[in-house]
Each structure stands twice: as C-alpha cells, then as structure tokens.
C-alpha cells in the first residue's frame, strides 16, 4: 500500500524534474544565442567616448602614404608609412633589416622604436585610448599594435591610424593590404586594448605631441641621444625647453648632446643655464667642470667641481673623480711649464 | 700551404683589430661626465649596482637577438638605440613580447584548409562543390 502510493509520486516528480531540465536547457540555449548576438551588436555598435572640446568630430590624414604589407611584414610597412609621413621617404623593404626578427616572424615594439631613432625621428609612445584622436586631429598618424586574434591565439598586427568619424563611429586605418580600412570603434577598441593601447607617434624632433607629457617626451629624446643621433637630440631637447622651460633633464641632455658633437660653447651654455635654474644640481656643475677643463680653463673647472662635491648627493663619487681629474691635469700642466 | 697560412695570419690580425674596435665600449674623453639618463631617472638608476645590471641586461638582450637569427652588428645597433630603463623593461620577458606580423598568412592558411576539406569531402562524395571532382557522366 505504502509502496503502491509512493511509486507514482516518484514518477511524477521525476517527470516534472525532466521537463524542468528540458525547459532550462532550451532557455539556456536561447539565452546563450541572444547574448551572443547582443554581444556582437555590442562590439560593432559601441559609441565612441566623447571627444575633448577642441577636437573636431571627424578628421582624416589623407596625405599619409600607403605601403601594402608583404607576408609577416606589417611592422616595416607601418613604420615606413609613419616615417614617410614625417618627411623621411623610406620604403618598407629598407626597414626589414632594422625591425624584423626572423625566428619570431614579426617585429618587436622595441625594434620599431629603435628604428625610428636610428632614422633621427622621435619615437613617442602612447598607452591610453583617449590620447589617440587628439593626435590624429593634430596631424600625427599613430602606429598601433592590435591583437586581431584572441588572447590565447594572438594575431599581433601593426596598423596606422589615420582618421576617425565620431558620428559614424568608425576609425580609419592603413592596415595590411587595405589602404583605407574602416573599422567600427568597438572592434578597434577591443583589438587595441589587448596590447594595453600601445601606440607610437613618429615625429620630427622639433614637433610636440598634442598631449605631450614631459617625462615621456624627454624619454623619447633621450632615445635619440642613445642612438647617437645628436643633431636630432639637440633639436628635441630645445623643443622640450620651449615647452617646459624649467626642465633640468632637458638642459642636461642638451649640454651632453652638444658635448658629444664637440660643441663645447653650446655645451657650456646649456650647463650654465641648468645651474642657474637649479642651483642644487650637482650634475650640472660636474659636467660644466668637464667642459671647462677641456677648454683648458682649469681654475674655473676646479671651482665648478668643488661646488659639485660640496652639493653631494648620490653621484658624489663621480664628482670627486672629476675633481681629482682636474687636479691631476693642473699638476701635469704645471710640471710641463 | 705556406701562402695560406700567411694570408690566414693577415686575416686573423685584421679580424682581431676589427672586432676589438667594434666591441670596444665607446667612452667619452672624460669618464666622470654625468649622463642625461642619470638626471632624468633621478635616483633609481644611479647606483653602480643598477648600472652593472643595466649593462648585463643589455648583453642578455643582444645575445638573445643574435640567437634569434639577427646579425650581431645589427643586434648591437638595435640594443644601443634603447635606454637602460627600456632595456630593463624587456630583458626578462623578451620571449613573451608580442611580435606584430599581420594576418595575411592566417587568411591564406584558413582558405587553403577550407579548400582541402571541401576537396576531400567532394572526393568522398559527401559534398559536390567542385565540378571537376565528380564530372557529370557524358552521354
């Protein structure tokens, strides 16, 4: 009796359970596809974030030349477009040697930066979404690194952003073999975000980025000095001084660059300006001492070195070495006389 | 044999001088000039230990690039165009850094694979995409 009454009850509950599972499964599938479609729609029709007030709603740098890429060679192609646009006519094939890494079948970001510098151009990195459109509006095309694949199956690609249209919600690129690629903003944002919004401005050293930050700009000019492009680094530091007149590193860099090409007068002027603006800059006195020493002005040099040593700081050992060096030169000189 | 040894001697002397000139670190006339980097980066890079580390990192990256099939001179030029901070940033993870190459090949590969799959399916008789696989019987 008990058993008899229990069995249908169990069957009932199992049927209900099964129906519930079916419904849930179907609902889940419907939900999955709807969200998939919605997701697609979301990526393709994402609105552009509002542009700053002084930036026009649409702009295109139509004059940027186009070089279609060869297999694996989007790096040299993108760089050639940006360099040519900065007034330096080069072909992608001229850049392969400097940029491409055969075993990786691609171009590393650092090689792109280095190649810019070796051609006397300022390589200014950007790392934020909101800095790209003001730069385009200011006439600077931007090389970007996109992952056109997935995070676990990356397809890294360099393209050059040359324009945008906020009303249409599109970004205009020179990409791969396409001279004028219109990319919906949402897709652009998604693919670019995977490189943490890495972008590169290729500028003449007399140009400033639209949204220039002092530290980034000076790091970019320092790169020119590292690549031994001293004429370019002199222009770069001079440009930096017009924008940030108080900058100590810019004046030190200017002095060091003049020193590197043997322009002792220019170097002396820069270091003197540095110590006038920053009387506690031991490095300025130290380097001034060297420039004076090289001109044979020993007593002035010794005075500057003494000042550097008295200021001290983490570079005190270097200043003491300078002081000793000048002393030994003086005694040598006295001996010869 | 004798002539070969003599010319080999010349070549090796030339190579020794040439390579030592190439790899000789470029020093300014005065070693105690403070570089722009030290001023720009303030305290971080100023200690001797940091400088040594930067030098070793530079060598590491250069060796790595050479191992990746880049000419030693070109590898040196690439490394020399970077600042110490940039070198330190990439030194430990150069293997993981992205190398942009584009999607040209992927599209071609996908197209070829797709073509082959359809071709095989045609041959088996599952599909009938290409007319040249199963031509209609002639009358």
**pLDDT tens, residue order, chain A (337 aa):** 444 444 444 556 666 666 677 777 777 777 777 766 665 555 666 788 889 989 999 999 999 999 999 988 999 999 999 999 999 999 999 999 999 999 889 999 999 999 999 999 999 999 999 999 999 999 999 999 999 988 888 899 999 999 999 999 999 999 999 999 999 999 999 999 999 999 999 999 999 999 999 999 999 999 999 999 999 999 999 999 999 999 999 999 999 999 999 999 999 999 999 999 999 999 999 999 999 999 999 999 999 999 999 998 888 888 999 999 999 999 888 887 6
Which pLDDT score is estimated for B136?
A: 66
CA of A66 to nearest chain B CA: how many angstroms apart?
A: 15
Which pLDDT score is estimated for B139?
A: 61
CA of A73 to nearest chain B CA: how many angstroms apart?
A: 6
Which pLDDT score is estimated for B26?
A: 43
Which pLDDT score is estimated for B17?
A: 63
Please name the residue ranges forming H helices in chain A.
Answer: 2-44, 74-85, 92-99, 109-118, 132-137, 185-193, 214-226, 230-243, 248-260, 264-277, 282-294, 298-311, 316-336
Which pLDDT score is estimated for A44?
A: 62
CA atoms of A110 and B51, how far apart (whole Å):
20
Q: Which residue of A has its CA nearest to B82?
A: A223
Residue entry with tokens 């139509």: A62
Q: Which residue of B has its CA nearest to A288?
A: B33
Q: How many residues appear in chain A? A: 337
B135 secondary structure, DSSP code: P
Chain B residues inside the 8 Å CB shell of A321: 31-32
Three-state secondary-structure class, residue A293: helix
Q: Which residue of B has its CA nearest to A293?
A: B30
Q: Which residue of A has its CA nearest to B45?
A: A314
Tokens representing residue A130 in the block: 């909101």
Which pLDDT score is estimated for B31?
A: 63
Residue entry with tokens 């919605």: A38
Whether B81 and A227 lie within 8 Å, measured CB to CB: yes
Which pLDDT score is estimated for B50?
A: 72
From residue A20, how far is each of A9, A26, A28, A232 by CA, in Å? 16, 10, 12, 73
Chain A residues inside the 8 Å CB shell of B47: 314
Q: Are A248 and A278 in contact (CB under 8 A)?
A: yes
The CA-CA-CA angle for residues B46, B50, B56, to 5°, reads 140
User: In degrees rounded to 5, what are phi and psi of residue A321?
Assistant: -65, -45
From residue A188, how far is each of A132, A159, B106 by CA, in Å? 12, 11, 19
Q: Which residue of A has its CA nearest to B62?
A: A111
Give me the total of CB pairs closer than 8 Å, taking one residue from chain A and one from chain B. Answer: 163
Whether A226 and B82 lie within 8 Å, measured CB to CB: yes
Instruction: Please tell me whether the overall predicted TM-score, pTM, comes out greater than 0.95 for this model.
Output: no
Whether B101 and A219 lie within 8 Å, measured CB to CB: no
CA atoms of A123 and A225, how far apart (whole Å):
12
Residue entry with tokens 């000419």: B71
CA atoms of A214 and A244, how far apart (whole Å):
7
Question: Nearest by CB to A156, which of B68, B85, B99?
Answer: B99
Which pLDDT score is estimated for A10?
A: 53
Q: Which residue of B has its CA nearest to A105?
A: B101
Q: How many residues appear in chain B? A: 139
CA atoms of B51 and B49, how far apart (whole Å):
5
CA atoms of A153 and A299, how far apart (whole Å):
66
Which pLDDT score is estimated for A336?
A: 76
Q: Are strands A170-175 and A100-101 parallel, antiparallel or unpaired?
A: unpaired
CA atoms of A101 and A110, how far apart (whole Å):
11
CA of A288 to nearest chain B CA: how many angstroms apart?
A: 9
Whether B40 and A114 lie within 8 Å, measured CB to CB: no
Q: Are A118 and B81 in contact (CB under 8 A)?
A: yes
Interface of B with A (CB under 8 A): 28-40, 43, 46-47, 65, 68-70, 74, 77-78, 80-83, 85-86, 90, 94, 97-106
Which pLDDT score is estimated for A292?
A: 96
Three-state secondary-structure class, residue B80: helix
Residue A74: name the closest of A106, A52, A49 by CA.
A106
Residue entry with tokens 């974030």: A49
- Exposure of A259 in the CB half-sphere (CA atoms within 13 A): 30
Neighbours of A324 (CB within 10 A): 12
What stretches in chain B show pLDDT beneath 50? 24-30
Question: Nearest by CB to B105, which of A71, A75, A115?
Answer: A71
Neighbours of A244 (CB within 10 A): 17
Whether B99 and A287 lie within 8 Å, measured CB to CB: no
- Exposure of B89 in the CB half-sphere (CA atoms within 13 A): 9
Whether A294 and B30 lie within 8 Å, measured CB to CB: yes
Q: Which of B36, B55, B85 is the best mutation test for A, with the most CBs of A within 10 A?
A: B36
């Amino acid at each position: 009796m008990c058993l008899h009454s229990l069995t249908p009850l169990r069957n009932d509950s199992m049927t209900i359970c099964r129906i519930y599972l079916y419904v849930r499964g179907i609902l889940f599938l419907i939900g999955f596809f709807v969200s998939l479609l919605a997701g697609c729609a979301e990526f393709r029709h994402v609105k552009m974030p509002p542009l700053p007030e002084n930036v026009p709603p649409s702009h295109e740098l139509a004059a940027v030349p186009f070089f279609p890429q060869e297999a694996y060679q989007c790096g040299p192609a993108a760089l050639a477009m940006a360099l040519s646009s900065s007034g330096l006519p080069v072909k992608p094939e001229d850049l392969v040697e400097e940029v491409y890494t055969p075993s990786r079948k691609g171009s590393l970001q650092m090689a792109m930066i280095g190649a810019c510098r070796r051609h006397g151009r300022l390589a200014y990195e950007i790392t934020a979404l909101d800095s790209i459109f003001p730069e385009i509006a200011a006439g600077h095309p931007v090389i970007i690194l996109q992952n056109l694949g997935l995070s676990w199956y990356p397809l890294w690609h360099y393209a050059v952003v040359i324009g945008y249209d906020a009303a249409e919600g599109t970004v205009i690129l020179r990409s791969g073999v396409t001279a004028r690629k219109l990319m919906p903003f949402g897709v652009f944002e998604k693919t670019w975000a995977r490189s943490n919004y890495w972008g590169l401005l290729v500028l003449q050293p007399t140009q400033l980025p639209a949204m220039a930050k002092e530290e980034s700009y000076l790091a970019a000019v320092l790169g020119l000095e590292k690549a031994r492009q001293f004429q370019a680094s002199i222009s770069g530091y001079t440009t930096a001084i017009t924008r940030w007149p108080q900058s100590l590193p810019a004046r030190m860099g200017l002095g060091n660059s003049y020193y590197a090409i043997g322009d002792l007068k220019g170097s002396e002027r820069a270091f003197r300006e540095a110590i006038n603006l920053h009387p506690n800059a031991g490095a300025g006195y130290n380097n001034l001492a060297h420039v004076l020493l090289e001109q044979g002005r020993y007593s002035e040099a010794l005075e500057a070195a003494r000042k550097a040593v008295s200021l001290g700081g983490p570079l005190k050992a270097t200043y003491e070495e300078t002081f000793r060096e000048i002393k030994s030169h003086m005694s040598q000189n006295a001996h010869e006389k | 044999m004798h002539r070969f040894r003599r010319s080999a001697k010349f070549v090796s002397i030339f190579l020794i001088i040439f390579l030592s000139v190439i790899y000789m670190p470029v020093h300014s006339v005065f070693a105690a000039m403070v570089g722009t980097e030290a001023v720009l980066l303030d305290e971080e890079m100023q200690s001797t230990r940091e400088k040594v580390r930067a030098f070793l990192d530079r060598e590491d990256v250069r060796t790595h690039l050479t191992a990746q099939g880049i000419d030693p001179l070109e590898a040196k030029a690439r490394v020399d165009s970077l600042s110490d901070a940039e070198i330190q940033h990439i030194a430990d993870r150069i293997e993981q850094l992205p190398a942009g190459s584009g999607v040209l090949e992927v599209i071609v590969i996908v197209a070829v694979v797709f073509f082959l799959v359809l071709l095989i399916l045609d041959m088996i008789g599952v599909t009938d995409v290409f007319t040249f696989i199963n031509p209609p019987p002639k009358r």
